Amino acid sequence: PRPDHLQDPHCAAGVKRNAEDSNDTSNESPLVGSNEEQCKRLCPSRSSTAEVAGTGMAMETSSVEQTMDLNLPIPDSQAEACLINFYDVEEGKLQINAVIEVAGFLSYDVALVTSAVDGLDEPLPPPSLVPRLHAVAHRPVHFSNPLLTSQITVDEVMTNVPRLRDELKLVLTQLLLGDALAADYLICHLISRIYLRQDMLVLGKFSLNLSNIPDRSTAADYTSRLYQLLQTLLAKSHYLPITLDNMNNINMIPKKNYETNRLQSGLLQLSDKTHLVIDETMLEPGQLNDRGVRNCRALGSIITNQKLEYDFQFYPVEFNTDIPVLILSEGKSMLPSDCHLPLEVDAACLATVGETFAAATHYMREPLLSQLRVYLSLVSTADYDLTPEVQQIVQDDFVKMRQEQAKTSAQDLHSLLVLAKLLSLSQGARCLTKECWETARQMESKRKARIR
């Protein structure tokens, strides 16, 4: 049978952090998410010769190959593309944007490949630039954290959760300029994941908008430095600065090109559990063009419904997503969110923000760094239960909330239940207790007091 062709899914999976990655962020590029990087759609420059793996033979690469579009969702100088041939794969087994592990035969030999594929109306990149892999077996990758081996169990991690949460809250409180409440909300956001879809209701998502972020004149590069620290903790993440130029020029929505019969990748083509950090502090007044409006609408759809419409020109095709979104802004974001929390900035912390980031980087060394990475990856997968006794308490409290505030809706109850669940799991509890429910209610009361 004719093989199906799929581009290597790791290119659409965001930025993956390995366990061996250094926790020193001082040498990372200051141009994280810059306009030049975001808009660059061409492959990175390569040397004039490339070695064929395992042979020691050098293969010439032309200047044309060096500028060929690899159709990567996220332009990355370290990313590589691969064309994979699958044989006898049942329909529906390979999902779009899924991360998979493949075993097969890798080929760089020009003589063994053709320049075109059935169904595509444009020539393919040469194998020296995009090698061919003939798959023998494949399996899904449920966790992109390389530290999660078969020896690590959820039960083992849950025994250390209280200590690890305290360590993480200590670091995040300092990074968030002394705001302990914001640290609690950020921990809940970092472990959030969708656990159920029912009609239009998406259960488990917890997008967070942290506002009152210091401006660039007060704390230069605060948002990018905060992201770099979060990046060391997360398996997959992407930083998206919202500027007028980015919104009007970046292709965020995947689009079908009928001339080449090819799906052109978009920036929001991210695999599940890729944390998207949106930086609105760089936004300036201006006019959005048609693409900017569509990009803004696509971001809103992901945040609100965890769905993204792919543009097939004549009709849209909707795909489910599971992308936790964190929005950093000076005022309330122009984008929707499940939770909006203005920071309460401690003046002393703001005055020493540079030293704080340096100290946090030094503090999160091994083995603590690996333990925190495992904690954030696994804690949300633990079994969770709501006992009948606590259900009655929740029901009674909801009735009181409706009596005190008539505008209280079922969505408010849902948001509070999600927060209580994330708070329980983050503390190592597998069922909601009365004490944890009261803590969640108090957190919400404090948050709402800040936005009145």
pLDDT, one tens digit per residue, over 222-243 is: 999 999 999 999 999 999 999 9
Instruction: Give 426 or 452, the one with higher predicted confidence.
Output: 426
Q: Is the pLDDT of residue 220 over 90?
A: no
Q: What is the average per-residue pLDDT within 299-322?
A: 93
Q: What is the average per-residue pLDDT within 354-364?
A: 94
A 10 A CB-CB count for 79 gives 17
How far apart are the C-alpha atoms of 391 and 138, rounded to whole Å? 43
Measuring CA to CA, how many Å separate 284 from each of 240, 241, 242, 246?
A: 15, 12, 9, 12
Bridge partner residues of 264 (DSSP): 255
Measuring CA to CA, how many Å separate 30 from each of 27, 216, 228, 230, 281?
A: 9, 14, 10, 15, 16
How far apart are the C-alpha atoms of 122 and 67, rounded to whole Å? 16
Q: Is the pLDDT of residue 50 over 90?
A: no
Where in the chain are the domains?
78-141, 154-382, 384-451
> Which pLDDT score, from 0 to 100, does residue 112 have?
62
Average pLDDT over the chain, rounded to whole?
83
> Which pLDDT score, from 0 to 100, does residue 14 have?
42
Which pLDDT band holds residue 441 (cuts at 50, 70, 90)?
very high
How far apart are the C-alpha atoms of 86 and 73, rounded to whole Å? 22
Q: Is the pLDDT of residue 24 over 50?
A: no
Q: What is the CATH number of domain 154-382?
A: 3.40.50.300
Q: Is the pLDDT of residue 90 over 70?
A: yes
Which pLDDT band holds residue 66 (cuts at 50, 70, 90)?
very low
Lowest-confidence pick of 7-21, 409-423, 433-447: 7-21
Q: Is the pLDDT of residue 38 over 90?
A: no
Which pLDDT band holds residue 111 (cuts at 50, 70, 90)?
low
